[in-house]
Amino acid sequence: MSASQAAPSQARNLHRFANPGRFLRISGTVLPWLAAIGLVLSGTGLVWGLTLSPSDWQQGDAVRIMYVHVPAAWLASFGYANLAAASIAGLVWRHPLADLAAAEISPVGAGFTAICLATGSLWGKPMWGAWWVWDARMTSVLVLFFLYLGHIALVRAFDDPQRGARAGAILALVGVVNLPIIKFSVEWWNSLHQPASITLSGAPSMSPAMLWPLLLVAVGAMFGFAALVVARTRAGVMERRIRALLLARAREGDMA
């Protein structure tokens, strides 16, 4: 098959899943599973982290803030990467659901970024003696929060939803440059924030008794994030259908 034949068939496959009716059917089946898995995994991990995992020899029990702070930080970046992917799908393939998904990802991403910033501040006060410092990691996460807020505002700033989605997508793609800055900020600059304890290339520098509950919460929170975005996108699809029906009825009324 030539490249020219492959591209339209790829686009057709993508659009097969973009049918709103099909999305509502599939997501209706998937959503309870996403929510249940997210709830069970993160609930188990949080109870484990709060009651059974050991306290830190240096930080005492304040280390337990890690079980909400770190998953929120991972989800803040993960959510933005998904926002960028949805923006590409919306800009390049004009995927009908991608714009809607992007508009629903940004409030959830902003929420998790706010959790990350608030819990980081609550962890920083007893450990560093300050609620906030203009540290590279913290500042770059604050910029991520503002990017999310900017996306939320921009998408809703136009009368024509398509123009709003396009402007939001461009902002989302420009903001992707912030993701590697967040990741590597603790290596590139002198930082109060500790470097990553878990990396893809090396063994974790953390006790397994802390690592397992952290991973449980992180995986559970990822399912929870997906469940929230799917639930919001389902509501968005139905709201769009309501607007279209009302508009059609109003036009019929005008014609009569």
Partner 1 sequence: MTHLPYILASYGITLVVVGAFCVDAWRRSGRAKRRLAALDRRGGR
Partnered with residue 56 across adjacent β-strands are: 60
Site for partner 1 contains 84 (CB under 8 A): no
Measured distance CA(165)–CA(171) in Å, rounded: 10
Q: Which stretch binds partner 1 (CB under 8 A): 104-112, 132-140, 143-151, 193-201?
A: 104-112
Of 149-157, 196-204, 208-216, 242-250: span binding partner 1 (CB under 8 A): 242-250
Closest contact distance (angstroms) between CB of 45 and partner 1 is 12
Phi, psi of 56 (to 5 degrees): -85, 145
Q: For residue 213, how many other CB atoms are within 10 A of its CB?
A: 23
Q: Using the rule CB under 8 A, which residue among 19, 205, 239, 251 binds partner 1? A: 239
- Write b or e for each residue in 19-33: b if 16 or more Cβ atoms lie within 10 A of its Cβ, otherwise e: ebeebeeebeeebee
Minimum distance, C-beta of residue 177 to partner 1, in the bound complex (Å) = 27
Is 151 one of the binding residues for partner 1 (CB under 8 A)?
A: no
In the complex, what is the shortest distance from the CB of residue 189 to partner 1, in angstroms, rounded to a whole number?
Answer: 26
Q: Are 221 and 71 in contact (CB under 8 A)?
A: yes
Separation of alpha carbons 171 and 150, rounded Å: 8
> What tokens appear for 203 in the block?
């063994």
Q: Are 83 and 109 in contact (CB under 8 A)?
A: yes
Say if residues 227 and 38 touch (Cβ distance below 8 Å): yes
- For partner 1, what does the binding mask look like between residues 111 and 150, x meaning CB under 8 A? xx-xx--xx--xx-xx------------------------
Report the nearest approach of partner 1 to the CB of residue 69 (Å): 7
Determine if 232 is a binding residue for partner 1 (CB under 8 A): yes
Eight-class DSSP state of 56: B
Residue with tokens 């960028």: 84
Distance CA 122, CA 127 (A): 9
Name the minimum Å distance from CB 203 to partner 1: 27
Q: Which of residues 200-229 bind partner 1 (CB under 8 A)?
A: 224, 228
C-beta closer to partner 1: residue 76 or 91:
76
- Within 17-76, the residues that bind partner 1 by CB under 8 A are 46, 50, 55, 60-62, 64-65, 68-69, 72
Nearest distance in Å: CB 201, partner 1: 30
E strands along 23-175, which residues?
Answer: none
Interface residues with partner 1 (CB under 8 A) are 46, 50, 55, 60-62, 64-65, 68-69, 72, 107-108, 111-112, 114-115, 118-119, 122-123, 125-126, 224, 228, 231-232, 234-235, 238-239, 241-242, 245-246, 249
